[in-house]
């Protein structure tokens, strides 16, 4: 597995990477602190015959003031060992100056699916995500890029941006990888203490119950109210629990077309996200 830390190294490694007989190159963008969910993104790309470039960059612009940028887990050696083991072809490890060079003056502002939910709770978050992803696309020039459905809204924001800017990258959304308890895998799960980890499984259980109730014909407002109360009883502070249009993220009061039940809730100081298809 090659490791590139500068644009020159990336260019050379990308050139040397043989995609002959393969479908092309897929990017797996990450912020490191890798877990089985990230490896499932890698496998999704490999199973479709792509050579894989994984990027690791804890992107400062997608964190708000007072968020966990400083304490976000960083373990480059362990991450690289996991990627090598998983058959990753190339790791892209840019520094802040490479991603945001002196004089940097361009951002990507996405409206539409970026406006509510995470966009409302974390102002500027999706501007940071869209900007860094656009930069990674420009640097790596992948044919495809893989994102986890755990961050459902992020996937829709990136799809919107890719379509609007006519970027020649196929966006692959990969199903959420879960622990045996149902907890969606996330680098931030490392913040949970043992007691919180047990409580955290309530998030997926509550989502699943609300999904089943909605599918069985219960009013969306009633299912969401019951779910919110159950999360509060389990010790969560709920930022939102809502039924939305799967692509636009517009709120829905009944199921029309493709709908998604999305939630974000805090357990102690840890913010957890999850979602299910209806
Ligand atoms: O999902 C993430 O880890 C990040 O938001 C991403 C897509 C790597 C951009 O920094």
Domain with CATH 3.40.50.620 in the chain: 2-174
- CB-based burial label for 150 (10 Å; 0-12, 13-18, 19+): buried
Domain with CATH 3.30.1300.10 in the chain: 187-277
Q: What local confidence, expressed as pLDDT, does residue 18 receive?
A: 79
2-174 to CATH, choices 3.40.50.620, 3.40.640.10, 1.10.760.10, 3.10.20.310: 3.40.50.620
Atom of ligand 1 nearest to the CA of 29: 8
Query: d(Cα 27, Cα 149) in Å, to the nearest integer?
Result: 16
Paired residues of 240 in beta bridges: 264
Pocket around ligand 1 at a 6 A CB cut-off: 29-31, 59, 62, 129, 132-133, 151, 154
Helix 36-47 and helix 76-85: axis angle, to 10°? 40
Q: What local confidence, expressed as pLDDT, does residue 183 receive?
A: 98
Q: Whose CA is nearest to atom 1 of ligand 1?
A: 30
Q: How far is the CA of 222 from the centre of ligand 1 (A)?
A: 33
Architecture of domain 187-277 in this structure: 2-Layer Sandwich (3.30)
Q: What local confidence, expressed as pLDDT, does residue 154 receive?
A: 98
Q: Averaged in consecutive runs of 10 residues, what is the pLDDT profile of the chain (278 residues)?
A: 98 90 95 97 98 98 96 97 98 98 98 98 98 98 98 98 98 98 97 96 98 98 98 98 98 97 97 97
Q: Does the model's pTM come out above 0.85?
A: yes
Q: What local confidence, expressed as pLDDT, does residue 72 receive?
A: 96
Question: With b meaning 16 or more CB within 10 Å and e meaning fewer, what string describes 126-147?
Answer: bbbbbbbbbbbbebbbbbbbbb
Is the dihedral angle over the CA atoms 163, 164, 167, 173 positive or is it negative? negative
Catalytic residue among 35, 38, 78, 125: 38
Q: Whose CA is nearest to atom 8 of ligand 1?
A: 30
**38 noted as active-site residue:** yes
């Amino acid at each position: 597995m090659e490791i590139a830390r500068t644009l020159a190294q990336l260019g050379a490694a990308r050139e040397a990477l043989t995609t002959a007989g393969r479908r092309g190159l897929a990017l797996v963008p990450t912020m490191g602190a890798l877990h089985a969910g990230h490896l499932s993104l890698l496998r999704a790309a490999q199973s479709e015959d792509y050579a894989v470039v994984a990027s690791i960059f804890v992107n400062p612009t997608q964190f708000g003031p007072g968020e966990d940028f400083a304490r976000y887990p960083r373990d480059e050696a362990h991450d690289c060992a996991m990627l090598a083991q998983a058959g990753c072809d190339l790791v892209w490890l840019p520094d802040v100056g490479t991603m945001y060079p002196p004089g940097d003056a361009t951002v990507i502002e996405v409206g539409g699916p970026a406006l509510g939910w995470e966009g409302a709770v974390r102002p500027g978050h999706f501007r940071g995500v869209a900007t860094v992803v656009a930069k990674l696309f420009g640097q790596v020039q992948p044919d495809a890029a893989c994102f986890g459905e755990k961050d459902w809204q992020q996937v829709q924001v990136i799809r919107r941006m890719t379509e609007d800017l006519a970027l020649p990258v196929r966006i692959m959304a990969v199903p959420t990888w879960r622990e045996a308890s149902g907890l969606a895998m996330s680098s931030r799960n490392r913040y949970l203490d043992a007691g919180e980890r047990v409580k955290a499984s309530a998030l997926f259980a509550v989502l699943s119950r609300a999904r089943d109730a909605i599918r069985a014909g219960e009013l969306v407002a009633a299912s969401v109210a019951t779910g919110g109360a159950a999360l509060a009883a389990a010790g969560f502070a709920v930022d939102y629990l809502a039924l939305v249009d799967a692509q636009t993220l517009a709120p829905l009061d009944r199921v029309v077309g493709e709908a998604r039940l999305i939630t974000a809730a805090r357990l102690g100081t840890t913010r957890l996200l999850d979602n299910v298809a209806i």
